[in-house]
């Protein structure tokens, strides 16, 4: 056994492709953080008083963390601590609401002297671990509604607490876990119905409620024809009709509730951001300013960009949060379509390879955890870049591994390397 | 296999989203021209517009803090050509070396600076600016920007107003809405009311043409933002009274606080030695000497120093005794030069006076012995099972007067003082091993009791109001500026309002009854009916502190004052004249001829150097 393990050394057991992508994204991010320095006195990339210098320290720490996870900590450790870790982080998530300072309207940061961190970052990892642990039990059945409920609660509880912290963006990432549930056997109809709900919401607030009702009618008609044609037994047909009617009633309720949710439940700034992205409102001085400036910065990059450190939009301080949430603007402006294409491709490949490794995994735990990692990365990628391109409302979440900030970088490092370690563990002993 | 099928579907979804993002990027970066600004030639510059900071008025609308215009010279190094360093240095009233050094710096970092505009010179006065403006056409790339500086037309309230300074890197870390070069309130009112005074910055955005010259408004000014001026603050301070108080306190160390009892508004708050307003205007230059001064002029003693209150605290003990029913106004106690509190004959001394005294006369003459008996009966009240229980009750009553806790004033850096707790004595003497004789000095406001001058001024206001106070504050509500509604709420003490007149008569006699041994006759002003109480607080660091609180007139009081003078001896010697002169000035507008000698003596004597 031991000899086998030696035979299958690092070269064969570690997925080096992922590590190369990880390093490339992190270093390219660092270089862009330096470029996004606001107007003022120029400084060295290692200058600890500016973001790029601090990021250098975070990167060094992240590499140490990655090495620890990969070489020191036994990969079985993660599954064994999944429950206590989940509970501890959940406790921290609640605690931070009461003891944190208000940072730009949200109560989600712990401050210990100079160090700040968001438990919401850790929670993505612990939620993934517990979800993987629970769903990989042999007795777990996705079509047993009690089991499904447990899985759903594991995701929903931290998500709701994070909403209570006013970190709506981070909470939205948790919606990505639905892809994991789908992969593990959840009915595709649920995915489709959620998509329909979002569609109806958007249609209702941008047009009229009767347009939404027409959409509901068309979808329902299509559903009934499609399903009834495929089923012959009376019992099944009855079920199709029953489910259809429930869905239509729910959809109609949603259509009439949409305006209420939009105008009463959402906060003003959230509503405005949605209005801007849906083109209902052009508010160039307020909410729309950020998105418009972001688009100008990216748009002005053209095919090959203005060249490194030559950007005018990002260095002039037109784009807000340049080194954190809007870092992608710097890529767009200074490296052009060529740069943005490469970055998106790297993320795409990373997610693709994680999914492929997950599918090859022999244990369900590794597979499910891998899907969780892939889903979180995907949500961050889509929301963050979608935001800079005006496809999503302005939601403040970082671009993984790329944005300035130690808390996020370390959390994604840990998340990814736990997967690489799990994957390695399997290749080592089988 | 179903699962792999799902995996494929998910990966297809991933592919669709990536194609969507790339498609949008392709559209934004390559197809759509409207997002394009030519990378080499065109870019925008943002010209900041700094709002004027809100100004600060006194209660009668007199300007305490205003703004004066000054200029900042900005430079866009890329636009500079054919620079004559000597004439620029002349125009800006600076040295050639300075200009050369800056220009070399810009040259060294030219690639990082790019088209940015940087600050070249700060705090340029108007005269220099006018000189520069005449010759500005000679210096392409240089321009001036208006900033406002603080100006103080009237010398009152230096410590109270506070100063502003440029933001430090540490401050920027915690306050992302500030940018380097902004000013903010560091201390005093400027700090406490930063949010209102600050206003918000605006900007014009200009576009550059192909030679980098500033051209039109970008997008017809659609993106320009107007600056919003800061809101003006009206304080409760009476500028003339504040200035007079500062003059009275000149050469003495201590505090003088005046409150309007019917509103809790602070009329004057003097901390001496303090800082003059001309120091505030150029704070950076004076900071070094001020921070090293052994008399600590930067420190606002009125709220941040705590002292033993001394005999003025007898009022509180007397009131608690009355409320508890262990003291009646007619009760007499003997005192022959003090009170013996241990069987071995240890004695808390008192001055020579007739004996026995009743409550009113004990207040008038400030008899130590009498209040030892009062405190003894409070602590040995049979209603309570132990000294500790009675003491805890006493402490609760004392704290209802605003002692031992922060009053909650709107002024920063307020201290809470100290009223010792039963736990403290339990720790110090062991539980059950302390009784009235152990803590006898609390009877007369000595021992572990510490109060701030603001707290004893508030006690004067409580006496004036016969049992309640409004939290003392320095900002009045005015247009656009709200104050916390708590400042409009009466704060009752735990002593019934009916008990107060019994003690107040003693305070009246202390000032106005001649030939009976009153301690504060020097404060008497014809027709003002001042009621007061002196205090001589023992000071471990030297000569006793001189204390006096008073209010006037006796009925429907308009002003309550506390004076606390460090190392100045008896209450009657300095605190009493100072406080009474302040009251007289406020109520009569002038000092009566009979008291002008006293005024002269106070104004000219220096107790510290």
pLDDT tens figures, B499-547: 999 999 999 999 998 878 778 888 899 989 999 999 888 877 778 899 9
Helix (H, G, I), strand (E, B) or coil at B479: coil
Interface list for B 3-22 with A (CB within 8 A): 3-4, 6-7, 10-11, 13-15, 17-18, 20-22
Query: For residue A374, is pLDDT > 90?
Result: yes
Give mean pLDDT, residues A302-324: 66
pLDDT reading at B498 higher than 70:
yes
Residues of chain A with Cβ-Cβ distance to B44 below 8 Å are 312-313, 316, 318
Tokens representing B493 are 């003490």
pLDDT value, residue A230: 76
* Among A332-341, B39-48, B571-580, the least confident range: B39-48
Say whether A302 and B30 touch across the interface (CB within 8 A).
Answer: yes
Mean pLDDT of B391-412: 92
Residue to mutate among B2, B4, B25, with most A CBs inside 10 A, is B25
Computed over every residue of chain B, the mean pLDDT equals 86
**Coil, strand or helix at B122:** strand
Is A336 near chain B, with CB under 8 Å? yes
Rounded to 5°, angle at Cα A78 from A125 and A113: 55
Q: How confident is the model at residue B389 (pLDDT cuts 50, 70, 90)?
A: very high
Q: For residues B120 and B601, give the distance between their C-alpha atoms in angstroms, rounded to a whole number.
A: 53
Cβ neighbours of residue A274 closer than 8 Å, sequence gap 6 or more: A205, A262, A266, A393
- Percent of chain A whose predicted confidence (pLDDT) is above 90: 32
Interface of B with A in 225-284 (CB under 8 A): 225
Residues 158-217 (A) with a CB less than 8 A from some CB of B: 179, 182-183, 185
Binary contact (A348, B28; C-beta < 8 A)? no
Of A4-13, A174-183, B541-550, which gets the smallest average pLDDT? Answer: A4-13
Pairwise CB contact (< 8 Å): B29 & A340: yes
Give B38's pLDDT tier (boundaries 50, 70, 90): very low
Going by C-alpha positions, the residue among B35, B37, B119 that lies closest to residue A311 is: B37
Mean pLDDT in residue range B559-574: 88
In degrees rounded to 5, what are phi and psi of residue B65?
A: -130, 120
- Is the pLDDT at A47 greater than 80? The verdict is no
Contact call for A318 and B46, based on CB within 8 A = yes
Which residues, numbered 338 to 377 in chain A, qualify as contacts with chain B under a Cβ-Cβ cut-off of 8 Å? 340-341, 344-345, 348, 351-352, 355, 359
Residues B262 and B264: their CA atoms lie apart, in Å, by 6
**Bridge partners of B547?**
B535, B564
Is residue A320 predicted with pLDDT exceeding 70?
A: no
Q: Where is average pLDDT lowest: A166-170, A256-260, A263-267, B375-379?
A: A263-267
What is the pLDDT, as a whole number, of residue B111? 67
Per-residue pLDDT for B589 more than 60? yes
Q: What pLDDT shows up at residue B51?
A: 86
pLDDT bucket at B211, cuts 50 / 70 / 90: very low
pLDDT given for residue A3 in this prediction? 43
Residue of B nearest to A351 (CA): B14
Number of Cβ within 10 Å of residue B78's Cβ equals: 16
Question: Both ends of chain B: CA-CA distance in Å?
Answer: 95
Residue B348 · residue B368 · CB < 8 Å: yes
The answer to whether the CB of B523 falls within 8 A of the CB of B574 is no
CB-based contacts of A35, cutoff 8 Å, min separation 6: A308, A309, A311, A314, A315, A330, A334
Which residues of chain A neighbour B111 with C-beta distances below 8 Å?
Answer: 309
Q: Which chain B residues contact residue A179 at CB under 8 A?
A: 10, 13
Is the CB of residue B214 less than 8 Å away from at least one CB of chain A? no
Model confidence at A105: pLDDT above 70? no
Lowest mean pLDDT among A55-69, A92-106, B326-340: A92-106
- A 14-53 → B contacts, CB under 8 A: 39-42, 49
Average pLDDT over residues A336-365: 92
Q: Do A359 and B14 touch (CB under 8 A)?
A: no
Of residues B241 and B413, more confidence is placed in B241
Q: What is the pLDDT of residue B2?
A: 47
Query: Mean pLDDT over residues A90-99, rounded?
Result: 88
Contact list, B221 vs chain A (CB under 8 Å): none
Closest CA to A340 of A352, A329, A351, A324: A329
Which of A58, A40, A61, A63 has its CA nearest to residue A48? Answer: A58
What average pLDDT does range B240-247 have in this prediction? 93
B179-184 contact pairs (CB < 8 A, 24+): B180/A40, B181/B119, B183/B53
- Mean pLDDT throughout A220-243? 80
* DSSP for B505-566, written as a single string: HHHHHHHH-TTTT-TTGGG--TTT--EEEEEEE--TTSSPEEEEEEEESSSS--EEEEEEET
- The answer on pLDDT for B72 being more than 80 is yes
pLDDT digits (tens, 9 = 90+) for B187-203: 888 888 888 898 888 87
Whether the CB-CB separation of B436 and B465 falls below 8 Å is answered with no
pLDDT at B125 over 60: yes
Identify the pLDDT of residue B188: 86
Do residues B201 and B50 make contact, with C-beta atoms less than 8 angstroms apart? yes
Question: How many Å apart are CA B254 and CA B299, to the nearest integer?
Answer: 11
Highest mean pLDDT among A64-78, A204-218, A321-335: A64-78
At residue B42, the pLDDT reads: 44
pLDDT at B210 over 60: no
B37 Cα to chain A: minimum distance (Å): 5
Number of C-beta neighbours around residue A70 at 10 A: 17
Distance of alpha carbon A427 from alpha carbon B162, whole angstroms: 68
Pairwise CA distance, residues B418 & B9, whole Å: 71
Structure tokens belonging to residue B176:
């992302």
| B27: DSSP letter | I
- Whether this model's ipTM surpasses 0.95 comes out as no
Of the candidates A340, A359, A382, which has its C-beta nearest B25's C-beta? A340
* Residues forming beta bridges with residue B185, ordered by sequence position: B164
Residue A352 to residue B46, Cβ atoms within 8 A: no
Of B6, B22, B35, the CB nearest to A341: B22
Residue B333 DSSP code: B
Mutate to test the interface with A, among B39, B46, B219 (most CBs of A within 10 A): B39
Q: Of chain A residues 55-74, which have a CB less than 8 A from chain B?
A: none
CB–CB of B29 and A352 under 8 A? Answer: no
Chain B residues in contact with A289 by the CB 8 A cut-off are 223
SS3 sequence, B192-250? HCHHHHHCECEEEEEEECCCCCEEEEHHHHCCCECCECCCCEEECCCHHHHHHHHHHHC
| Of A184-198, A287-301, A320-334, B298-312, minimum mean pLDDT range | A287-301
pTM over 0.95: no
Mean pLDDT of A169-173: 87
Distance, first Cα to last Cα, chain A? 9
The more confident residue out of A316 and B451 is B451
For residue B180, the chain A residues in CB contact (below 8 A) are 40
Instruction: Identify from B6, B21, B76 which residue to disrupt to test chain A contact, counting A C-beta atoms within 10 A and taking the largest count.
Output: B21
Rg (chain A; Cα; Å): 23
| B180 vs A40, A300, A344: nearest CB | A40
pLDDT tops 70 at residue A113 = no
Which of A338, A319, A286 lies closest to A388 in space, CA to CA? A319
User: Which pLDDT belongs to residue A5?
Assistant: 46
Could you give the CA distance from residue A52 to residue A43 in angstroms, rounded to a whole number? 10
pLDDT at res. A285: 54
Cα-trace Rg, chain B: 33
Q: Rounded mean pLDDT of B267-291?
A: 83
């Amino acid at each position: 056994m031991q000899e086998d393990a030696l035979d299958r050394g690092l070269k064969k057991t570690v997925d080096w492709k992922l590590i190369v992508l990880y390093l490339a994204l992190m270093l390219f991010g660092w270089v862009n953080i330096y470029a996004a320095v606001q107007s003022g006195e120029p400084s060295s990339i290692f200058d600890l008083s500016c973001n790029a210098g601090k990021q250098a320290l975070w990167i060094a720490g992240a590499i140490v963390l990655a090495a620890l996870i990969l070489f020191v900590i036994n990969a079985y450790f993660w599954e064994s601590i999944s429950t206590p870790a989940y509970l501890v982080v959940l406790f921290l998530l609640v605690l931070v609401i009461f003891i944190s300072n208000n940072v730009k309207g949200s109560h989600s940061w712990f401050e210990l002297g100079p160090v700040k961190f968001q438990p919401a970052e850790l929670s993505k990892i612990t939620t993934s671990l517990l979800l993987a642990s629970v769903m990989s039990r042999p007795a777990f059945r996705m079509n047993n509604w009690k089991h499904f409920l447990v899985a759903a609660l594991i995701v929903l509880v931290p998500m709701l607490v994070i909403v209570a912290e006013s970190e709506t963006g981070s909470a939205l990432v948790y919606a990505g876990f639905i892809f994991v549930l789908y992969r593990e056997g959840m009915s595709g109809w649920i995915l489709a119905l959620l998509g329909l709900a979002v569609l109806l919401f958007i249609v209702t607030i941008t047009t009229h409620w009767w347009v939404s009702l027409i959409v509901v009618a068309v979808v329902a008609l299509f559903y009934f024809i499609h399903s009834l044609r495929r089923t012959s037994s009376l019992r099944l047909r009855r079920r199709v009709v029953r489910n259809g009617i429930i869905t239509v009633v729910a959809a109609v309720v949603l259509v009439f509730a949409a305006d209420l949710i939009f105008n009463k439940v959402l906060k003003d700034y959230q509503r405005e951001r949605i209005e801007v992205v849906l083109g209902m409102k052009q508010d160039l001085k307020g909410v729309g300013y950020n998105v418009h400036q972001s688009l100008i910065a990216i748009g002005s990059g053209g095919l090959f960009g203005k060249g490194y450190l030559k950007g005018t939009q990002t260095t002039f301080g037109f784009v807000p949060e340049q080194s954190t949430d809007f870092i992608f603007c710097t890529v767009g402006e200074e490296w052009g379509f060529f740069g943005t294409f490469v970055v998106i491709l790297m993320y795409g490949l990373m997610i693709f390879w994680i999914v492929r490794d997950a599918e090859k995994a022999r244990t369900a735990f590794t597979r499910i955890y891998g899907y969780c990692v892939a889903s979180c990365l995907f949500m961050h990628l889509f929301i963050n870049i979608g935001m800079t391109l005006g496809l999503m409302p302005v939601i403040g979440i970082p671009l993984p591994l790329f944005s300035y900030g130690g808390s996020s970088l370390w959390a994604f490092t840990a998340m990814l390397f736990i997967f690489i370690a799990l994957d390695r563990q399997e290749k080592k002993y089988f | 296999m179903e699962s792999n099928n799902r995996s494929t579907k998910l990966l297809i979804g991933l592919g669709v989203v990536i194609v969507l993002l790339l498609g949008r990027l392709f559209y934004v970066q390559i197809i759509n021209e409207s997002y394009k600004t030519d990378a080499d030639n065109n870019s925008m510059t943002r010209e900041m517009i700094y709002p004027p900071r809100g100004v600060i008025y006194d209660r009668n609308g007199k300007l305490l803090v205003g703004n004066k215009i000054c200029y900042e010279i900005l430079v866009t190094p890329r636009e500079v050509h054919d620079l004559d360093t000597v004439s620029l240095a002349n125009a800006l009233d600076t040295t050639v070396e300075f200009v050369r050094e800056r220009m070399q710096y810009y040259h060294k970092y030219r690639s990082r600076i790019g088209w940015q505009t940087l600050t070249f010179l700060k705090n340029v006065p108007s005269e220099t600016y006018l000189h520069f403006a005449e010759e500005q056409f000679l210096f392409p790339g240089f321009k001036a920007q208006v900033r406002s500086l603080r100006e103080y037309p009237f010398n009152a309230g230096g410590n109270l107003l506070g100063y502003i300074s440029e933001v430090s890197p540490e401050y920027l870390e915690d306050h992302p809405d500030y940018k380097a070069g902004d000013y903010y309130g560091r201390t005093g009112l400027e700090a406490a009311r930063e949010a209102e005074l600050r206003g918000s910055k605006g900007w014009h955005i200009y576009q550059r043409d192909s030679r980098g010259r500033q051209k039109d408004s970008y997008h017809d000014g659609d993106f320009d933002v107007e600056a919003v001026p800061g809101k003006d603050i009206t304080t409760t301070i009476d500028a003339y009274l504040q200035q007079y108080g500062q003059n009275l306190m000149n050469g003495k160390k201590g505090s003088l606080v005046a409150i309007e009892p019917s509103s809790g508004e602070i009329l004057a708050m003097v901390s001496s030695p303090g800082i003059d307003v001309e120091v505030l205007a150029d704070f950076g230059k004076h900071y070094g000497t001020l921070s090293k001064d052994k008399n600590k002029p930067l420190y606002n003693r009125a709220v941040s120093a705590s002292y033993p209150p001394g005999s003025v605290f007898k009022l509180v003990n007397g009131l608690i005794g009355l409320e508890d029913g262990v003291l009646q106004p007619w009760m007499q106690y003997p005192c022959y030069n003090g009170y013996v509190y241990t069987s071995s004959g240890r004695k808390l001394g008192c001055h020579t006076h007739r004996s026995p005294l009743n409550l009113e006369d004990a207040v008038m003459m400030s008899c130590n012995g009498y209040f030892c008996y009062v405190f003894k009966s409070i602590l040995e009240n049979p209603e309570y099972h132990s000294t500790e229980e009675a003491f805890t009750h006493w402490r609760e009553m004392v704290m209802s007067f605003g002692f031992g806790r922060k009053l909650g004033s709107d002024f920063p850096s307020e201290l809470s003082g100290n009223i010792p707790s039963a736990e403290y004595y339990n720790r110090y003497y062991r539980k059950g091993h302390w009784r009235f004789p152990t803590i006898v000095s609390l009877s007369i406001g000595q021992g572990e009791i510490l109060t701030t001058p603001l707290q004893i001024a508030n006690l004067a206001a409580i006496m004036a109001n016969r049992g309640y106070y409004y939290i003392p504050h320095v900002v009045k509500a005015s247009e656009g500026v709200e104050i916390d509604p708590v400042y409009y709420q009466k704060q009752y003490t735990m002593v019934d309002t009916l008990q107060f007149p019994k003690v107040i008569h003693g305070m009246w006699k202390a000032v106005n009854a001649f030939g009976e041994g009153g301690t504060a006759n020097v404060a008497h002003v014809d027709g003002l009916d001042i009621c007061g109480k002196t205090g001589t607080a023992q000071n471990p660091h030297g000569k006793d502190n001189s204390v006096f609180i008073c209010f006037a007139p006796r009925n429907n009081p308009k002003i309550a004052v506390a004076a606390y003078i460090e190392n100045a001896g008896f209450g009657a010697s300095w605190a009493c004249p100072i406080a009474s002169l302040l009251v007289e000035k406020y109520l009569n507008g002038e000092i009566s001829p009979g008291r002008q000698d006293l005024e002269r003596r106070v104004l000219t004597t220096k107790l510290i150097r």
